[in-house]
Amino acid sequence: MADNKEKKQIPLRLSASLYNAIAAWAEDDFRSVNGQIEYLLTECVRQRKKNGKYVPEKLDEHIELDI
């Protein structure tokens, strides 16, 4: 397993509305946008490890978000 201090850089494309929603959330949580995305991904992986399921179970289905 890779050392947690080692960070990988990846290109990420987000819609402007999703970016703005994450940026506002990050500001509320006193995090950078990058830190907020990393936090959210970490929580999703932790939840999956906990119960063996994606959150939500129908992750691949398209859902409409008002963002």
**What's the predicted TM-score (pTM) here?**
0.69
Q: Is the pLDDT of residue 2 over 60?
A: no
Give the separation between CA 12 and CA 22, rounded to whole angstroms. Answer: 13
| Predicted local confidence at residue 63, as pLDDT | 64
Residues 6+ apart with CB under 8 A from 43: none
Cα–Cα dist 58/39, whole Å: 21
pLDDT band at 55 (very low <50, low <70, confident <90, very high): low
Bigger pLDDT: 4 vs 44: 44
Q: Give the model confidence (pLDDT) of 7-54 as tens digits.
A: 899 999 999 999 999 999 999 999 999 999 999 999 888 887 777 765
